[in-house]
Amino acid sequence: MLSVNTELFWILVGMTAATLMQAFVLLGILLTMRKAVRTVKEQADEYRGKLTPVIESSSQLISTGKDLVAVTKALVDNLKPELETAATELANMTREIRDQVDRLQSSVDDVVQKAHSQADRMNGMTTSFLNGVDRFGTFLNEAVHAPIRQVNGFVAAARAVVETLRSPAPARPRGAAQGPQPASQAVRSEDDKDLFV
């Protein structure tokens, strides 16, 4: 009986250790994902910081280009078609640069949003897994303890029966005052003697 309890104890210790190991692995994954999200956010902020001056410089370049076009237009009216073409191309280039910067910003925001959603998803999966492990532990606890309680009850009952059978029969006074014993008691005492041989 002691070895069964010891084996059950070591089985439960092993299962608890495995559950704790899985919890630590999931915690490590969660911490790694948080660090990755933080790194992506820092890089997005860095890109935003680098691209903002480029956009401002492009705006200043556009306004400077327009001023230059106006001065040049006043000076050389005969080159008007070529200068208008150059100004239009410059405006188109600036617009394309702005569009590319906007697309890049959108991509960075999309990456940050996906990283946040993945972190939330991982958090939900971890919580769901740990709840499942908890439910499994409760089920396993009930599945192991119920048969053990039944076996313990059976052993206690068997022990009580054996102790009852081993106890000596109560002493009966001998003599004439007792009178004759009924036949059933005489047979029972003969059976009792046979039991304890």
Q: Which residues form the domain of 87?
A: 2-145
Residue 173: inside a domain, yes or no? Answer: no
Asked if pLDDT for residue 169 goes beyond 70, the answer is no
pLDDT of residue 123: 84
For the chain, the domain total comes to 1
pLDDT of residue 196: 44
pLDDT of residue 176: 46
Average pLDDT, the chain: 80
pLDDT of residue 197: 40
Residue 98: inside a domain, yes or no? Answer: yes
- Which residues, at least 6 apart from 91, have a Cβ–Cβ distance to it below 8 Å? 62, 65
Q: What is the pLDDT of residues 82-91, one digit of tens each?
A: 767 888 888 8
Residue 65: inside a domain, yes or no? Answer: yes
**Nearest partner of 123 among 36, 18, 27, 20, judged by Cα:** 27
What are the tokens at 92?
């188109």
Residue 69: inside a domain, yes or no? Answer: yes
The C-alpha angle with vertex 17 and arms to 12 and 135, in degrees rounded to 5, equals: 65
The C-alpha angle with vertex 40 and arms to 103 and 37, in degrees rounded to 5, equals: 130
Residue 54: inside a domain, yes or no? Answer: yes
Asked if pLDDT for residue 21 goes beyond 80, the answer is yes
Residue 115: inside a domain, yes or no? Answer: yes
Looking at the chain, the whole-number percentage of residues with pLDDT higher than 70 is 80
Residue 183: inside a domain, yes or no? Answer: no
Asked if pLDDT for residue 165 goes beyond 50, the answer is yes
Residue 24: pLDDT band (50, 70, 90) is very high
How far apart are the C-alpha atoms of 170 and 117, rounded to whole Å?
A: 81
Which is higher by pLDDT, 56 or 93?
93
How far apart are the C-alpha atoms of 42 and 61, rounded to whole Å?
A: 29
Residue 186: inside a domain, yes or no? Answer: no
Residue 63: pLDDT band (50, 70, 90) is confident
